[in-house]
Amino acid sequence: MKESKEPLAKFQAKVNKDGRITIPRPILETFGLKQNDYVKVLI
């Protein structure tokens, strides 16, 4: 995987009680993300 210097997308997400976040649908559709895909989260 090639590292990029700038994020491809920025959005806010709330962490639920199970420690999960939800990626907004427009972001999922833009990048073609599907169930079981891996994403990198930078905090």
Q: For 15-33, how does the pLDDT look when each residue is reduced to its tens digit (9 = 90+)?
A: 999 999 999 999 999 999 9
Q: Is the pLDDT of residue 7 over 70?
A: yes
Give the pLDDT score at 22. Answer: 93
Sorted by sequence, the CB contacts under 8 Å of residue 29 that are 6+ apart come out as none
| Tokens found for residue 32 | 């073609």
- By CB atoms closer than 10 A (0-12, 13-18, 19+), residue 8 is exposed
| Tokens found for residue 42 | 């930078």
Q: What residue ranges do the domains of the chain occupy?
A: 6-43
Residue 11, CA distances (Å) to 22, 40 in order: 10, 14
What is the pLDDT averaged over residues 28-40? 94
Give the pLDDT score at 41. Answer: 87
Q: Are 7 and 16 in contact (CB under 8 A)?
A: no
